Amino acid sequence: MSRRFCQALDLVDDPALIEEYQQHHRQIWPEIATHLRQYGIQQMEIYRLGNRLMMVMETTDDFDGGLFERRSLENPKVGEWEALMWKYQRPTPWTPAGEKWVEMTRIFSLAEQP
């Protein structure tokens, strides 16, 4: 069993910067992949439409988002990656101040339909 999180974030609306961002994600730094997996993230996909991103993250049932966030802040390589990514990323209009990726609200599930 796993848990799914869907989150949104915007990119700087500049085609050259968007291409750079995508290049970075064709193969992320190995330390970042290790960090994600170490704290229970089993799968992660990012989708783009224009400059809007949607991330789908599958985690273990016992995934602790608070612990993951604290460990991420303590990890210098993760900090370096996040600082680099912020060159390309922008909060959505609905993102609380000081946050990046924000969880989306699920409004439909075919599995729950008769």
3-class DSSP state for residue 94?
coil
pTM: 0.92
How are beta strands 52-60 and 2-11 bridged, if at all? antiparallel
Give me the torsion for CA of 50, 53, 58, 62, rounded to 10°.
-170
Contact 57, 44 (CB under 8 A): yes
d(CA 87, CA 80): 12
Give the chain's largest Cα–Cα span: 49
Report whether pLDDT(79) > 90. yes
Domains and CATH numbers, the chain: 3-112 (3.30.70.1090)
> 25-72, pLDDT tens digit by residue?
999 999 999 999 999 999 999 999 999 999 999 999 999 999 999 999
d(CA 68, CA 75): 11
> 9-23, pLDDT tens digit by residue?
999 999 999 999 999
Report the first-to-last Cα separation within the chain, whole angstroms.
23
Over range 66-81, report the average pLDDT: 97
Query: Residue 62 CA to chain centroid, in angstroms?
Result: 18
